[in-house]
Amino acid sequence: MQTYYIVTMGCQMNENDSEKIAGMLEMEGYTKAANIENTDILVINTCSIRENANNRFFGNLGSFKTIKKEKPDMILAVCGCMMQQEEIVDIIRNKYRYVDIIFGTHNLYKFPQLLNERINGKKPVYEIIKDTSVIHEEIPIKHEYNHKAYVSITFGCDNFCTYCIVPYTRGREKSRTSENILNEVKSLANKGCKEIMLLGQNVNSYGKGLNEDIDFSKLLRRLNEIDGIQRIRFMTSHPKDLSDKMIDAIEECDKVCKNIHLPLQSGSNSILKAMNRKYTKEHYLSLIDKLRDKIPDITISTDIIVGFPSETEEDFMHTLDVVEKVKYDSAFTFIYSPRNGTIAAKMPYEISESTLKDRFDRLIKLQHGIMADLSEKYVGTVQEVLTDGFSKTDKNMLCGRTRSNKLVNFLGNSREGDIVNVLINNATPFHLKGEMLK
Ligand code: SAH
Ligand code: SF4
Ligand code: F3S
């Protein structure tokens, strides 16, 4: 039996794409290899978001050379966002000639065909296409879990935040029809799936360009009716498009988890303008007030970039101010890194390494303190947890997530996919610990 192994970098979109690659390979009769050393096909699904993602990728490619030498018949395929960057593909073609197949984000569906071309021919197969407006619904998906699944609702992005490469690697924003999404979720529910995570770079603008009367709030309401599904999550929400209608839908749909990922990026109005984010600090804070007024127990997470070109100490203090006011349940913090082809990459850059590090450390310290306080409040409460399996950090414990998306390690005897009640008896900033109640 021929086997495959997929290494996935980057975000949930890429994870979902890797599930599609797995789905196509299984249709062709391949099975998942137990480990990377013993595979017939190795696929690297890349991400372009940060400089160190590039470095890590080329580091990995170098190390795969050894595997290729020992197993010359193994097919090495690289795909994903980095392959939509011409300069990266050029480097691979010139310096990493042992790569067998290169494909991009828009021709994922052709992978089985490209694979056959490589197997039947002598030469490497490279095929990258620029943006296309077609959504390929026919691709089979092999979901990583039975009890929870990613469901993409939009692809691409039209926002062009000045630091971001995603609009270039993923193309223009396209929405799937509500019929296709509802059918996918119904079929997942029939197979026992309990939680869905709706994916889009900006789910709030779902429906744009579709020939039907739909928007994200309506989609949530329809998904909420599907029997079997018990939890609905979604990401990412762009603050500029978060409407009252959508906040109402989150509040009113019982299956929709009271949890939102609302990237701030910066708390400074001049930086937000330079980032082309199209909202102000004041508007952002008013959204948080609205959310908490309507849904008092909502948990909120965010993304923040430190050191965008021209960020001053005063700008940074505005970011800290928002973090202090909002008290995020979690925050992904990034140090700005210029991405080739973006507008921000051409802006002059004068922030020193030591200033960057200092700002980053202050932000992390503030955020970790907030998370410690928030986690502490869970101690003594009973939480509904959807079991994911055994904990990765402590094999004697199970792990899962609360509806508020807190990670919980717990003692008990539930199985993957079981929804159980857990008494929380301990908390760290990053996770809770507890015991399952009978
Ligand atoms: N569509 C989502 C984000 C996708 S990228 C949104 O609009 O929020 C995930 C995160 O990576 C971004 O929110 C941003 O914080 C970070 N990011 C993107 N480009 C970056 C860059 N050039 N440097 C540092 N962080 C970046
Ligand atoms: Fe990038 Fe902005 Fe689009 Fe998010 S909304 S993917 S940060 S361009
Ligand atoms: Fe995601 Fe990275 Fe592409 S964050 S969309 S995999 S550039």
More confident residue, 263 or 65: 263
Q: Is the shortest distance between the CB of 166 and ligand 3 below 6 Å? A: yes
Instruction: Give me the CATH topology for the region 3-127.
Output: Rossmann fold (3.40.50)
Instruction: Dihedral sign for Cα 222, 144, 390, 297, please.
Output: negative
Q: At residue 51, does pLDDT exceed 80?
A: no
Nearest listed ligand to the Cα of residue 152:
3
Q: How far is the CA of 13 from the centre of ligand 1 (A)?
A: 13
* Ligand 1 proximity of 50 Cβ (cutoff 6 Å): yes
What local confidence, expressed as pLDDT, does residue 54 receive? 82
pLDDT of residue 53: 79
| pLDDT value at 98 more than 90 | yes
Residue 304 CA: nearest ligand 1 atom is: 15
**Cα torsion 305, 104, 170, 9: sign:** negative
Residue labelled with tokens 């609702």: 153
Rounded CA Rg of the chain: 22
Residue 427 and residue 376: Cα distance in Å, rounded?
6
Res 272 pLDDT > 90: yes
CATH class of 268-376: alpha beta
Which of 29-33, 101-105, 121-125 is predicted least confidently?
Answer: 121-125
Q: Are 224 and 233 in contact (CB under 8 A)?
A: no
- CATH fold, domain 382-436, is OB fold (Dihydrolipoamide Acetyltransferase, E2P) (2.40.50)
268-376 has the same fold as 143-257 = yes
Domain boundaries, the chain: 3-127, 143-257, 268-376, 382-436
Task: Give residue 80's pLDDT.
Answer: 97
CATH number for the domain whose boundaries are 143-257: 3.30.750.210
CA distance 259 to 295: 10
* The pLDDT of residue 67: 84
pLDDT-derived band at 55 (thresholds 50, 70, 90) equals confident
pLDDT tier for residue 437 given thresholds of 50, 70 and 90: very high
pTM for the predicted model, two decimal places? 0.96
Residue 202 in contact with ligand 2 by CB distance below 6 A: yes
Contact 356, 306 (CB under 8 A): yes
The response to whether residue 337 sits with its C-beta less than 6 Å from ligand 1 reads yes
Q: Which residues pair with 249 in a beta bridge?
A: none
Backbone φ, ψ for residue 315 (5° rounding): -55, -45
Residue to substitute in 47, 79, 161, 201 for testing ligand 3 pocket (most ligand atoms within 8 angstroms of CB): 47
**Ligand 2 centroid to 364 CA: how many Å?**
23
How does pLDDT run across 328-344, given as a tens digit for each residue? 999 999 999 999 999 99
